A and B are shown apart, each in its own frame.
Chain A
């Protein structure tokens, strides 16, 4: 079957078998391997992407169900001007160690910040409950989301600055 969807601002199409998940579509047809295949049953959150503004497990959605929708993956966050504040903070503070969970954590955090620009620590913890990390203990991630929230609200953030500043 044919599916057509907007991925990171670009209209993309593919012909896939019906049992193809959104995760397989992204990774194996569009070669966007940022979203990871972890548990593949919706427990670990490594496959998290944003569909029509909501963080979802790409492993639990059929590609057919994403037809016509707008999907944002980790590959869609950085701009010419620089990394997204979440990416920048996570990199600078060592909020990730092995990094496997990172794309999922960052996409979940992005969906949270899009809806709630200054979340409380509890709100961040609740949002990240579906993203398992076996390295870090989560503390630097939670601090990082707070920090990125502050950066997003300031105009100094490179990724958000006006193009003429380049």
Chain B
């Protein structure tokens, strides 16, 4: 790698101070699985200073708080896969984490890094977006919270401003325990980028799709929701036919591209299939009175 400077942040506040001090020449290093791989192949000059946040303990951890399920940005994919709390409340998050990269990269890579790299095929995005996740951002003027949807601007572009740091992801309390599921289709089972991925969730205790949510990855410049499919589903009796139709509607809401991995037409077909499967996966997690127990 080309030479760069290095400074380790003790905690999130220290990281923001360092980012402000070093300005545009600074780059945040978390798990490094995207950043270091990119740097090795990049024709561009490296950052002046790498601000290493990987030891900032306040950025780690998974916990239930008054606001909901809080996941520190530095939480690794393996920690999400192994979390009893996530297995208990939102197993769809583990379904998404366990198909990222391979064991070695899941042990290093972080959920915050996956969001901040902001590639459209990120596997962390759809489930979080479908669950209306909020993200907390720390900057020189303090903390702010925005919906995850407002973090994503475009491929590899987020809305973070000068010296700002993603510190945590919070799934709002109303959605903790919401039956949901994640689906990914790649060219291999291991270590493959998603051709398409999808997440879906709904409350189904009354036999109808209540508060349905559908999110798609790798089919638009950012991870997106499928609001038309959601609106069509809302209040309908749960059936396989309805799940399939929601998949077909969701496909009309995406704008996939053709690249060396797959054609746009193939991706449109995949959307319909994966949305149907995600809805079925969510349905398998529906139990009576679930919503009352959650809130």
Contact = CB atoms under 8 A, between A and B. Distances in A.
Real binding pair: yes
B91 to A, nearest CB: 17
Contact of B33 (A42, A48, A64): A42
A56 B3 contact: no
Given A18-B3, A42-B101, A129 B190 contact: yes
Contact of A21 (B1, B4, B6, B46): B1
Interface string A95-119: 0000000000000100110000000
Contacts of A18: 3-6, 50
A1 B3 CA distance: 13
A65 interface: yes
B41 A56 contact: no
A17 B40 CA distance: 15
B108 interface: yes
Interface string B35-56: 0110011000010001010100
Contacts of A131: 102
Interface string B178-222: 000000000001110000000000000000000000000000000
Given A18-B3, A18-B5, A129-B191, A60 B36 contact: yes
B153 to A, nearest CB: 26
A19 B46 contact: yes
B89 interface: no
Interface residues of B, number: 30
A10 B6 CA distance: 26
A81 B8 CA distance: 41
Interface in A46-79: 48, 54-57, 59-62, 64-65
B54 A65 contact: yes
Interface in A18-46: 18-19, 21, 40-43, 45
Contacts of B107: 54-56
Given A65-B32, A108-B104, A130-B190, A19 B52 contact: no
A126 interface: yes
Nearest to B8: A64
A46 to B, nearest CB: 11
Contacts of B6: 1, 18-19, 62, 64
Interface residues of A, number: 29
A62 B3 contact: no
Contacts of A130: 101-105, 190-191
Q: Is the interface of A mostly helix, strand, loop or mixed?
A: mixed
A36 to B, nearest CB: 13
B123 to A, nearest CB: 14
Interface string B13-48: 000000000000000010111001100110000100
Interface of B: 1-6, 8, 29, 31-33, 36-37, 40-41, 46, 50, 52, 54, 78, 101-105, 107-108, 189-191
29 contacts: A18-B4, A18-B50, A19-B6, A21-B1, A21-B36, A40-B40, A41-B40, A42-B101, A45-B102, A54-B78, A55-B103, A59-B36, A60-B36, A60-B105, A60-B108, A61-B32, A62-B6, A62-B32, A62-B36, A62-B50, A65-B29, A65-B32, A65-B54, A126-B103, A126-B190, A129-B102, A129-B190, A130-B102, A130-B105
Interface of A: 1, 17-19, 21, 40-43, 45, 48, 54-57, 59-62, 64-65, 108, 111-112, 126-127, 129-131
Given A18-B50, A108-B104, A129-B103, 18 more contacts: A40-B40, A42-B104, A43-B191, A54-B107, A55-B104, A55-B107, A56-B104, A60-B36, A60-B108, A61-B32, A61-B108, A62-B6, A62-B29, A65-B29, A111-B103, A112-B103, A129-B190, A130-B102
